[in-house]
Structures are given as structure tokens and as C-alpha cells.
Amino acid sequence: MNVHDSEKVIGTLVQEGYRQVESVEQADLVLYNTCSIRDKAEQKVFNRLSDYKKYKKQGKTFGVLGCVAQQEGEKIFERAPYVSLVAGSASYRNLPQMLRQLEEAAVAREIPRPADEDAGLRDDASVGMSPGNTRGSGLATRDSGLVRITGLDDRETDKCFETEFTARSNPHRGYITIIEGCDKFCAYCVVPYTRGKERSRTSESVLAEARQMADLGYTEIQLLGQNVNSYKDPAGNSSARKTFAELLAAVGEVPGIRRVRFTTSHPRDFGRDIVDAIDAVPALCDHVHLPVQSGSTRVLDAMQRLYTREQYLERIAWMKAAKREISITTDVIVGFPGETESDFAQTLDLLDEVGYDAVFAFKYSPRPNTPSLKLDDAIPDTEKARRLEVLMARQREIQIERYKKYVGTQCEVMVEGRNEARSQWIGRTTHNKTLNFTAPQTANPKPGAYVRVTVTNSFPNSLLGELVV
């Protein structure tokens, strides 16, 4: 999600006449995108910002974007006074305006602006903003002569960050954000407070972007949202309005698009129609990431996840009844406040029952502003670490068994690149598994190509094979 946000921000800046450079040393303007989902994210950000301090003397301008920016707000200016811009993701659509404010501040300080292509901004602590420029998309203030622009007040917006141009780094597989924000308010999660309320793009706009990507040669699209399947088409005309499953199918039917993925789905909004769409449209990948978080209904309730273990398993049953085998992956949090041994045992049992192809497991980490911060019964870190280890060991055994059954079969992969050290090509299956393979020297498969591979060996997290020639 954050990677794609950066692609959209870069695209927006390029449209404004900026040019992307390789390193901080070469840049005049440095924007630092941040995530605060777990751990001590804030601390990491402040540490990194203090590394940037030395560049300030060289006249570089700094901005902090993303969830830590939204969460810490103006505290960032206090702790890192050389930062000039702090903006959360709900304000990104105002970035051009905010950047113009920064530039105007530079002009007001009579700093000659470099030629547009490598436009950079310089700050000069001795000159502030010119009158009339103190309010725009964000709020610009002058404090001790420093320029400070904030984009922090847009979390209630209905508008999405639609970009005319997105600087996608992969020429074959690209992301499209279809819904921003989150209204679920799980007890442990910071996202609703940092990314703002749920808002969807029109299906028309999403499909136009998908067609444009197909025209540019993309063959794989990944639809993104914190809660991708809570998508609600805001199209004015009700006959044009699409459900999430309909949009998914429509993207899968765009000529030239061979693979469509979507992440992350919330079990509460996961309807059978999504499985029906996967059944009906071959381009929809045989993979669903459906975070469960816990196998205990009691803990799910404390987490405010809005479903029970049984309801979650019902959705798994729909997927298992699909025409194609759907690979299922999940996220789990261990050590949520009050999680007993018996709750944890239910999570382990759920892993066996579902048979996931990958599990992303995390130790519960208390996050600012979240309701679970106030819960008693914190689990000691050593115990969280033990549970995490037990869970990962169990899942490793499950994956060893699950990956083994591919040996001897043929899979189609999209070629992602080459591992020179191992003389192997790297491929990805529709199940989202890494399948590394060897090929005769004459074959030379190109990144982005779709080829067939015979699986010859399996590991807990990947497969090995030979190109079918």
C-alpha cells in the first residue's frame, strides 16, 4: 500500500515538473514516506530524520508523509525543526498545492529557483512566508522563521487521491488503489486514525486506469485497499454502479490483463460472490489473503473484528468449494491483551484446519490512540515471542506438506527476474508462490513473460522447477 502511495506521489511530483533522483545527496526536496502499523515506528522515523539533519545545511527541504506524519503531526516540527512539510495520506491530493506553497516561500525568500526539470527547494531560516500564502490545502505557518506546511486535517474527506500519472516501478505488474481509509476500527489498529474514513473510487475510473495499464503493456493488476472488499462504488448512476465482485470481474475481463489480485480482504465483507467471480473469470488469480488475526472467537470479539471463528471458517469453506484450488494466506496477531493459552491453542488449531499457504504473524504491539491500549492483561514480550515462534514452527510444517504436493505438476509463472548467483529464473504462480526455475541457455525467458514450469522440488516458502520447452 505504502509502496503504491509512493508511486502515486512520485507521479504527481513528476507532473508538477520535478524529476526523481537516485539518492538523498542528489535531491533538493526529500519526501520520507512512513508506516506506523506496528512496533516503534515513530522512533525509527525520528532516528532516520536525525540522519537527515546534516543535509539541511546543504539547503535541502524535507517532508514527512504517511501514517507517522499523520499520527505525530506537528510534534515532528518540534523534534525535527528542519522538516518543512508534514502530510498524512488523506491529504495527498493536495500535494501540488502544498508544494507550490513551499516554492512560493522559497521565492518570497528571494532564493532563485532552479530550472524546472530538477526543481528543488531551499529553505532559509531567516525568511518566512509572504503574506497571503499562509493558507492553502494544508496550513502553512511561520515559526521562528521556519516554513511549516501541514496536511493533517483531511481524514474526514470523501475524496480519493486520483493521479493522472503514477510512476510505477514494475512495467508488467501494477497496483491500483480502489478504496482508501478504513471504517472498521479493530481495537489494535492505527489505520482508521491515520488514513481516515473509507472512500472508494468510481468503478469507471478504476476500469479506465486498468485499460490504460493494459495499453501500456501491463498484464497483471493488483487492486488495493486496507479493506479492499468493502469497496462501494460511488457512481451517481445506479445502473453503472458495481459491487466489489463485479469490479473484480470487470478488471479481469480487460483485454490484455492476464492476472488480477486483490488485497487486503476483511472477512466480514467477504461475500460468496467473490468466489463466484474467481470461478467465472480465469484472469482472477487463485489466491485470497484473508486475515484472521485469531482463532478464538473471544479474542476476535475483544479485537472488534466483527466475525466469529465459525463465520471465518464458513468463508474458507466457500473458497474450498471453488472450481479451482484457491490458495489462502492470512495475518495473525499473537499476544493480544488477555489472550490465554487456550485462545492461542485455538489459533494453532485453525492453522491446521484451514491449511494456509503463508501466514504473516505479528506480536501484538500497542499503538497510539487505539482502544486496546487501555486493555489490562498485557502479555509479557517473552511470552509473545514464544507464541510467535510456536506458531511459525507449526505453520512451517503445514507449508512443507502443502508445497510438496506441487512436485511433479506443471505451473504457469510470470517471469520476475533472474538470480545470477544461482543461475535460476524467478517466477510467480497464480497462487502467488515463488517458483524458481532453470532453463536451457537458448531459452532466455524475459521478465514479464508467462511460461510453463515443471516443479521438481519444494521448500517451506518456495518451489523449484525446470522450464517446459
The separation between CA 411 and the C-alpha centre of its own chain, rounded to angstroms, equals 27
Please report, as residue ranges, which positions from 171 to 190 form the binding site for ligand 5AD (by CB under 6 A).
Answer: 188-189
User: Is residue 331 at the binding interface for ligand 5AD, with CB under 6 A as the rule?
Assistant: yes
- Rounded CA-CA distance 388/385 in Å is 5
User: Is residue 367 at the binding interface for ligand 5AD, with CB under 6 A as the rule?
Assistant: yes
If binding means CB under 6 A, how many residues of this protein chain bind ligand 5AD?
A: 12
Where b means 16+ CB within 10 Å and e means fewer, 342-363 reads ebbebbbebbeebebbbbebbb
Give the x/- contact pattern for ligand SF4 in 257-296, rule: CB under 6 A: ---------x------------------------------
CA distances from 191 to 155, 185, 225, 293 (A): 11, 8, 12, 15
Task: Give the range of 65-73, 110-118, 142-150, 357-365 binding ligand 5AD by CB under 6 A.
Answer: 357-365
User: Is residue 437 at the binding interface for ligand 5AD, with CB under 6 A as the rule?
Assistant: no
User: Is residue 289 at the binding interface for ligand 5AD, with CB under 6 A as the rule?
Assistant: no
Output DSSP code: residue 295: S
Q: H helices then E strands: how many in the chain? A: 13, 18
Selected binder of ligand 5AD within 52, 318, 362, 450 (CB under 6 A):
362
Q: How far is the CB of 37 from ligand 5AD (least distance, A)?
A: 5
Q: How far is the CB of 460 from ligand SF4 (least distance, A)?
A: 26
Q: Per-residue DSSP letters for 103-156?
A: HHHHHHTTPPPPPGGG------TT--PPTT-SBSSSEEEEETTEEEEEE-S-TT
Residue 297 CB partners (closer than 8 Å, separation 6+): 308, 309, 310
User: Is residue 104 at the binding interface for ligand 5AD, with CB under 6 A as the rule?
Assistant: no
Q: How far is the CB of 376 from ligand 5AD (least distance, A)?
A: 17
User: Is residue 185 at the binding interface for ligand SF4, with CB under 6 A as the rule?
Assistant: yes
- Rounded CA-CA distance 301/210 in Å is 38
Selected binder of ligand 5AD within 38, 155, 320, 324 (CB under 6 A):
38
Residue 263 main-chain phi, psi, to 5 deg = -160, 145
- Rounded CA-CA distance 84/368 in Å is 24
User: Is residue 293 at the binding interface for ligand 5AD, with CB under 6 A as the rule?
Assistant: yes
Nearer to ligand SF4, 168 or 266 (CB): 266
- Per the CB < 8 A criterion, the answer to whether 13 and 39 are in contact is no
User: Is residue 226 at the binding interface for ligand SF4, with CB under 6 A as the rule?
Assistant: yes
Query: Which residues contribute to the site for ligand 5AD (CB under 6 A)?
Result: 37-38, 188-189, 291, 293, 331, 333, 362, 364-365, 367
Query: Which residues contribute to the site for ligand SF4 (CB under 6 A)?
Result: 182, 184-186, 189, 191-192, 226-227, 266
